[in-house]
Structure 1
Amino acid sequence: MRILLIEDDRTTGEYAARGFIEAGHACDLITDGRQALIHLADVTYDIIVVDRMLPGLDGLSLVKAARAAGIKSPAIFLTSIGGVDDRVEGLEAGGDDYLVKPFAFSELLARANALSRRPPLQDQKTLLRTADLEVDLIKRTVTRGGRTIDLQPREFSLLEILMRNEGRVLTRTMLLERVWDFHFDPKTSVVETHISRLRAKIDRPFEVQLLHTVRNSGYSLHAPR
């Protein structure tokens, strides 16, 4: 793997970078958020490990800007801020995982390896259709009945998972794991809130409902049967 480590604490940064290199990976260490964003525009990485509190540009803003620029490298937030709301905020910003300091390097490496094993986009379908709803995964566009629908990044990911599992019921826990990469219950209404937002955009303006709530089970996206 080629890893970009963005950490302004020199001791922590050098420790983690050395660990990645000893594990056989290439690792670049940058201590400033703004410099890291400029660097990301020129170099492609398999994994980004980013501290939340950085000089120049904080980690949340960095990842948001990277996603807006089309940079899709999985990002792990490495931070001393460990509250549930902080973790949700990091994942909402476009992060894929969240590790709280102090951390064991073995866990950081395991999380990086797990993210790197996610199948690349080119190995998957890039155009998803359900009835008159279409999602282009390359262009990152959503249309229904020829009308363009603007979605936030997490709404887009949620819709992608639902469409890849068309007709199947996905539970709240499954969505937390697949969309937010949570392997615990954050005790928030993040799933319900995003389902409501998504329904307002892809269903409410149209005559036929595609996104269904399955009582006491979860959610399913499918055309009327």
Structure 2
Amino acid sequence: MRILMVEDEKYMAEAIEQVLRKNNYSVDLAFDGEYGLDCGLTGIYDMIILDIMLPKIDGISILKELRRNDITTPIILLTAKGETEDKVEGLDCGADDYLAKPFQTEELLARLRALGRRKGKLNHDGIIRFKDIEFNINTLDLRGNDKTFSLTLKEGQLLEILLEHKGMIISTTTIIEKLWGYETDTEDSHVQVYISFLRKKLAQLSSVVKIRTVRGVGYLIATEEDGMKNV
């Protein structure tokens, strides 16, 4: 899951970034509202953590602009303690949740998990199940047919993206943006390498789940019974 955090207090933002990365989230930081809005408008993020008090463009204005542009990414607003008006305005403008500063990182993690469940991205136990496999996004364990493999972070993030959109074609460009960010110089060959790693692990699990290549477009995760062929 890729998260954008828009927060001008760099020490706080970088500390939270470290906590989120330890919990297997990919994180991009923006330290002002203008850059934060540009990042948010790309639509590549699964969650946005957005401070209200920001230089250049405030958080409420960013929120309004994102929703005006049909960006439906779940957004957690960071508000000053006791600022009820900010909370109310933010929720009315389309925020999904809010946290009052200062807050415990455990509470932020809980809010992110709750939003993930609300948007149908994962089950209550952090496990995504499909046919004869299950993937734990917290431990990066892939299980199937009484076998278990521990995935690397990038393998796990790629598998999570595919499973969230099972049966749908995910473009190579989308995968690159979600895994490495939209300013990366990562090439298609990097994705091919990680797809190969996942295919080998699925084969070792003797799973019916396959990762299909749609040439010139991207990939999808499906099964033999779905009748999909490599094209």
The TM-score with structure 1 as length reference comes to 0.52
User: Partner of 2:173: helix, strand, or coil?
Assistant: helix
Alpha-carbon distance in 1 for matches of 2:130, 2:177: 23
* 1:122-201 equivalences in 2 (<5 Å): 122-124=114-116, 125-126=122-123, 127-182=127-182, 186-187=186-187, 189-201=189-201
Does 2:49 align with 1:116? yes
* 1:1-225 equivalences in 2 (<5 Å): 20=8, 27=9, 29=11, 40=15, 45=16, 48=17, 67=21, 69-70=22-23, 72=25, 74-76=27-29, 105=32, 107-110=34-37, 115-116=48-49, 119=74, 120-124=112-116, 125-126=122-123, 127-182=127-182, 186-187=186-187, 189-206=189-206, 208-225=208-225
Amino acid at match of 1:116: I
How far did residue 178 of structure 1 move? 2.4
8 Å Cα contact 2:168/2:220 also seen in 1: yes
Alpha-carbon distance in 2 for matches of 1:72, 1:217: 26
8 Å Cα contact 1:203/1:211 also seen in 2: no
8 Å Cα contact 2:135/2:143 also seen in 1: yes
How far did residue 162 of structure 1 move? 0.3
Alpha-carbon distance in 1 for matches of 2:115, 2:32: 30
8 Å Cα contact 2:145/2:207 also seen in 1: no
User: Partner of 1:212: helix, strand, or coil?
Assistant: strand
The TM-score with structure 2 as length reference comes to 0.51
The gaps in structure 1 that reach 5 residues or longer are: 5-16, 21-26, 31-35, 49-62, 77-98
8 Å Cα contact 2:132/2:209 also seen in 1: no
Amino acid at match of 2:156: F
User: Partner of 1:168: helix, strand, or coil?
Assistant: coil
How far did residue 195 of structure 1 move? 0.8
Q: Could you report, residue by residue, the CA deviation over 1:15-65 in whole angstroms, capped at 9, with x for unpaired residues? A: xx9xx2xxxxxx2638xxxxx8xxx5xxxx3xx3xxxxxxxxxxxxxx5x9
Match of 2:89 in 1: none
User: Partner of 2:208: helix, strand, or coil?
Assistant: coil
Deviates more, 1:119-128 or 1:159-168: 119-128
Alpha-carbon distance in 2 for matches of 1:152, 1:189: 18
Identity of aligned residues (%): 22
Alpha-carbon distance in 1 for matches of 2:166, 2:215: 17
How far did residue 170 of structure 1 move? 0.9
How far did residue 190 of structure 1 move? 1.3
Change (3 A) 1:203 1:122: farther
User: Partner of 2:220: helix, strand, or coil?
Assistant: strand
8 Å Cα contact 1:149/1:202 also seen in 2: no
How far did residue 121 of structure 1 move? 2.8
Q: Could you report, residue by residue, the CA deviation over 1:92-142 in whole angstroms, capped at 9, with x for unpaired residues? A: xxxxxxx8xxxx955544467774265423222232111111012344432
Aligned residues: CA RMSD = 3.5
